[in-house]
Amino acid sequence: MDPVASVKLYVFLRPRFIIIAAGICVSYPLYGLALAQTIFYYRTFTNDVICFKIVVAMLLILNTVHFIALVQQQHIAFFQVEFASIRPLTPGVGASLFSMYLAISIVQWSYARRIWTLSDGNKILAGILVFLPTVQLASGMSVATIQTIFTSRNEFGAHTESCTIMCTAEAWSSIVCDLLISTSVAYYLAKRRKGFRRRENLLPRIAFYVISTGLVTSIAAFMVAALWQFFPTTTAFLSLQTVITRLYVNSLLASLNARVDFA
């Protein structure tokens, strides 16, 4: 690549890389928090059901894969600028997308199972909470597959419309699911208030549960969707997308570990 053109390209892309790097840097401590919560979970809930232990292990693996992929993308973006003129994606994009969408779906399915228990087997509610993450996963995996297979700009550009439709379906199914999880958990915990040891602490505990189980993630997902919809030419939505996996993982781990306070 011509040195002058390389410098111009760097000047053009640098602000966009910095925005993404800011999101990646925020995700670093969140990854550390997830590791700490994972260690706390396995040390505290040694007699927990095996399905919860498997879910936590899967999230640890997916979170780590996503973290490594982001580090790899950041390295290429800042130290190998020429990739932007050759490929629209770095090699780690596929791994980060697959791990992100799968981790989000696993978290939402885990909440669906919990709400099934809290609601004494509400089939309609549980069915919706299983269906929405499935739509999110199918749409997200389709986008990830297209972005992984079609690496040249011309090939990828031919599938832009399809990606737009699937990204919209992925984003809004995730947002609706998170909001439904938050309201359902708050409602059913309030109905079971007599089971708590100290009734005067009920509202703060419910508030924490609602925030940790879906409100924060739904706000983050909505912001990603809004930024992508209204500012598609910027990298602001990518900056939030680098953090959102960590938010989901920490959300589920926080709700699992919070059972210490409810005991």
Concatenating the DSSP letter of every residue in 83-101 gives HHHH-SS-THHHHHHHHHH
C-alpha to C-alpha distances, 256 to 48, 183, 188, nearest whole angstrom: 10, 18, 17
Q: pLDDT tens across 106-165, in order?
A: 999 999 988 898 888 899 999 999 999 999 999 988 878 877 776 555 555 555 677 778
Q: pLDDT tens across 55-80, in order?
A: 999 999 999 998 888 777 666 655 55
Ramachandran category for residue 104: left, alpha or beta (phi over 0 → left; psi -120 to 50 → alpha): alpha
Assigned token pair, 84 = 């932007």
Q: Is 1.20.1070 the CATH number for 3-262?
A: yes
pTM (two decimals): 0.81
**Residue matched to tokens 């993404």:** 20
**Torsion of the alpha carbons at 152, 155, 161 and 166, rounded to the nearest 10:** -70
Assigned token pair, 181 = 């999880």
Domain ranges of the chain: 3-262
Assigned token pair, 105 = 């779906």
Assigned token pair, 230 = 């209204």
